Every structure is written in structure tokens, then in C-alpha cells.
Amino acid sequence: MRIRWPRRVFAQVLLVQLATTTGVIMLATGLFLAPLSAQLDDQAMRRALAIAETTAAEPGLARELTTTKPSADGPVQAEAERIRLATHALYIVVLNTHHVRWSHPTVSEIGRTVSTDPSAALAGQEVMDIDRGTLGPSARAKVPLRDDTGKIVGAVSVGIAYDSVRAQLLRTVPSLLLYAGAALAVGVLAAFGVSRRLQRRTHGLAFADISSLLDEREAMLHGIREGVVALDARGRIRLVNDEAQRLLGLGPDADGRALDDVLPPGRTTDVLAGRVDGADLLTVSGGRVLVANRMPTADGGAVATLRDRTELELLGRELDSTHGLLDALRAQDHEHANRLHTLLGLLELGLHDEAVEFVAEVADGHRASAEQIAERVHDPLLSALLVGKSAIAAERGASLRISPDTLLPDQAVDPRDLVTVLGNLIDNALDVATFVEVELLAEGTTAVLRVSDNGPGVPPGMRELVFTEGWSTKAPPAHRGRGLGLALVRRLAERYGGMARVTARAGGGAVFTVVLPEALSSRELTAMGESR
């Protein structure tokens, strides 16, 4: 019958841990028993050697060996048996230089030659070994026996029953196995606890299911068009998908690094790190308007999602401009109606020359304003923006003036960025002022945009704060948030390697200056494009 391997992770881990624990305990037990047996043998041989040396040191034993004959009731046998019984040795054999025994536990062996070679002991050496003699296997030792003058007259051989050594080893085994069993039981309980915990963490899934879930997660995270950033409890990035890398400008080496190390200080970093609370938080990163949400996880980390709202923000601003333009057109409609009524009255009165003069004056006034802007600002999108904003300013009762120093003869590399910057600056100025002046300059390929107004101005302590995302003194409109216009202006300036700042205007108000290096096409390239 074939034993099926369990599918669930916790069951597989439990079986592997049980097998590993059992194998380790068995190996440890075997490794302990092997040196223990050698140690017991060594102890038995050293004990035999100590008994042999003690026997050989007995006074008069050497003299009795040389002056008496071997016999069962001789003095040598009596002394050897006394020591043997006292030390529980298997045997104590005293022999002369001719290998003849003077003592032995079996009296019939007295007077016979020994069964093992005592030459090493008779040569003056001490010998220890495990060997088999007439009484069976034993741990034995042999030492020379010397007379009073130091001459070797014989040898003493002592044996310790090997069965006693084996019995001592066997007596150790049960207690050793008991400890091994206890260790195995603890290991089994630990393995079971770990497996149960793993079961709860994996929800009883199999390895194949977990692998499929990981594959699906990777496909989902990198396939969705929403940025996802996962952080651990220490604020380090655990996961970042492709869209988040694009939106935040992160590289592939962001995994495992702290959030503050890979992102510059600012609102975006604070939102992702959880230092700013709230839902659908707006932030600006790399010239993009993002909507961020952060959800904490059970392990102390968090998962943040990012949605690109740049296009929606631009559409919102265009909608604001459209509303303003509609209001301006509505006001101009009344103005044109009044002019038409005036023209009709002149015609009815027969003042034809005055009617022609009136029409020419009105047409020339509008044409002169548009042509003046087009002559100083050659980029068509920027010119159209200024014409439209002039109409909106007039409808609001404000004045939008183009500085006499304005001259932008080159076309923009990306006109949309300049439109975004200039449009935001003019909108902010028209919200607080009745007079706005715009100055556009070209310094090589660097565009300098300056918008001044006669509003309340910006206090020195708040001149950096006004460029922060989410900061505004005005209530937000229904379709979008406030506090993003100036933040977007600064991000675009920084992306070009330039800067955005605000200073005080002489006579009251504020002056916003934005410098955008490499924002304009060189005149050579412009000329080549026009010739084609």
C-alpha cells in the first residue's frame, strides 16, 4: 500500500520535523554511546594497571617469588588472592622470568606457563589491553616485578572481567534512552506547536496553492494601473510595483531600503510613512498630482496605494478657466449688445460716418491687444493663454497687464508645462488682486516667468509654506482640492533644474518668479523647423 504524502504545509512540516528530530536524537545517542564504551574500556584497563602496580609494590613479593616454589598454598598465591578479593579483580597472576605462574584464581593453573606473552612486561614495560585468556575476555594490565636491587625477577598480570565493563555500559543505556525519549517528546511537542502555528499562518493551504497565490499576486500587482507600496514595521519598502516605481521615480533597488532614503523629504514621503492621516490625500511627486491612501497591516507595516490624478487636475483647472471664460463671454455678450444698440442708433439717425468710425475703433482695440501679445510671445499656446486670461480678468473687474519688458521669441520645448506654470500663477493672482502683471523673458534656452499682483502679499515666514501641497487659505471647489497649484509649479521647476520663489512687490503685493532652464528651443532649431 502506497503512503500518500500530505498536501498541506503544516502536515508536511510536522512530518519533516518529526523525522529530523528522531534522526538527530538517534544520532546523538549513538555518538554518545560510542565514546562511552571506549572510555569504560580505558577506565577498566587503568584500574587493572593500578592494581598490578600496587601488587608489584607489595614488600617481600619479589623475594617470595624467587625463594619459594609455585604452590596453591604458597605465600605468593596467598598475597595475590588477598589483593584480588579486595579489589574484585578477575585474576592476579604473578609469574617469573620463565613465564611460570606462582598465582592464579584457578589453583590448577599454578606452576604452568601463562597463555599470553609477557615479554614486554619482563622487558620493563607496562602493558594495557583488552584480550582473551584462560578466564575469558578481560581488560588487563601487566607490569614488571622488581627485587630490592631493581632487577626484574618476574611480572604481575591483572585482569578486570570484561563482562563487568559491558554491564556498566548496559546499565547506562536505559537512563540514556530515557533522556533521549524525553528530548524526543519535547521535540515532537515543539514540532507540533510550530506546525499548528504554520497552519494558522498559511490557512491550511498546500505549497502548490501558496505558489499559485504568489504568482497571481505578482501578476496582479504589476498589472494594475495603480501604484502599490508595501512597508514593514520599520518603514522599509517590502514591495513596490511597476506603477509605483513610475509615479515615485523609484529604481529597482528600492526593495529593502527605508522610505526616507529613497524619497526626498516632503508631503509625499510623510503621507506614505503615515505621518499625515486621512483618506484620499493629495500630494505632488515629480510634477504629478497623486491621490494616496494608506492601510496599516497586522504586523505593524502598511500598504499604500497611489492614483495618478494629474490629468484630472489639469482638466479641473481647464474647467475653472472655461467657467471663467464663459463668464467673460457672458459679460462681453452684454457689452456687444450695448455696442450693437449704439451702432443701430447711429444708423437710424443717419450718422453713417460716425457708425463706421465706432466699429473701426472697437475692432482696432481688440486687434491691438491680441497682436501685442502675439508679437511679444511667439509660442501660440502661451499667447492664447494670455489672451484668454485677459478676458477673464476683465470680467472679474481686474486688470491683466503684459509687462513692456516681456519678450519670448522662442517656442517652448514642452508648452504644456509653461502653460501649467503660468496659468497657476495668474489664477492665484486673480483670486486675491485687482491688478496683475505678467513678464516673460528668454535668457538663452532658459524661460523666466514672473507674475506680480497688488494683493495682500505673502509674509516672509510663509514664503516656503505656500509651495507645500495641501496648503491654501481658500475653500476648495467641489470638483478638486486646493493647495496644489503652487506645489505643482515648484515640482515642475525642480524637474527642469530651476526654481520657484515668491518675494514682495514694491508698493504692496507679491511677485512670483519661476526659472525653467532648457525650457525653450534654441533659435537655430526653431529656424530649421520653420524653414521646413
In-domain check, residue 346: yes
Cell numbers describing residue 476? 476648495
Q: Which residue has the cell 502661451?
A: 382
Residues 99 and 113 in one domain: yes
| Domain annotation covers residue 410 | yes
d(CA 281, CA 512): 26
Contact (CB, 8 A) for 376 and 392: no
My answer on whether 426 and 487 are in the same domain is yes
Q: How far apart are CA 420 and CA 147, in angstroms?
A: 119
- Residue 450: the pLDDT is 94
Do 278 and 333 reside in the same domain of the chain?
Answer: no
| 321 and 282 co-located in one domain | no
Identify residue 373 by its one-letter amino acid code: I
Tell me the CATH number at 425. Answer: 3.30.565.10
Q: Of 265, 280, 307, at which residue does a domain stop?
A: 307
User: What is the phi/psi pair of residue 83, to 5°?
Assistant: -70, -40
DSSP state string for 7-66: -BHHHHHHHHHHHHHHHHHHHHHHHHHHHHHHHHHHHHHHHHHHHHHHHHTSTTHHHHHH
Same domain, 114 and 261: no
pLDDT for position 273: 86
**Residue 404 CA: distances (Å) to CA of 138, 383, 401:** 122, 15, 9
Domain boundary residue among 254, 286, 307? 307
Domain-located, residue 214: no
Task: Report yes or no on 375 lying in a domain.
Answer: yes
Which of 152, 168, 184 finishes a domain? Answer: 168
242 and 341 fall within a common domain: no
Query: Is 187 domain-assigned?
Result: no
Per-residue pLDDT of the chain (532 residues; tens, 9 = 90+): 445 555 565 566 667 767 777 777 677 666 666 666 667 778 888 888 999 999 988 888 888 988 889 998 899 999 999 998 998 888 899 999 999 999 998 888 898 998 888 889 888 899 988 776 666 677 889 999 998 888 999 999 998 876 644 555 556 667 666 776 777 777 777 777 776 776 666 665 555 565 666 666 666 666 677 888 889 888 888 888 888 888 888 887 888 888 888 888 877 888 888 888 877 776 777 667 777 888 888 888 898 888 877 655 555 555 555 655 565 556 556 556 666 777 777 777 777 777 777 666 665 545 446 677 878 888 888 887 887 788 778 777 788 888 888 888 877 777 878 888 888 899 889 888 989 999 999 988 889 999 999 999 889 888 888 887 655 555 444 444 445 678 888 888 887 788 999 999 988 899 999 998 888 876 543 443 444 4
User: Grid coordinates representing 154?
Assistant: 618476574
Domain count, the chain: 3
Q: What is the pLDDT of residue 512?
A: 94
**Residue 231 CB-half CA count within 13 A:** 23
Residues 319 and 239 both lie in one domain:
no
pLDDT at site 360: 65
Cα–Cα distance for residue pair 458/465, rounded to 1 Å? 10
Range of the domain at 129: 9-168
Output the domain CATH number for residue 132.
3.30.450.20
Provide the pLDDT for residue 529: 43
Q: What is the DSSP string of 217-248?
A: HHHHHHHSSSEEEEE-TTSBEEEE-HHHHHHH
Model confidence, pTM: 0.43
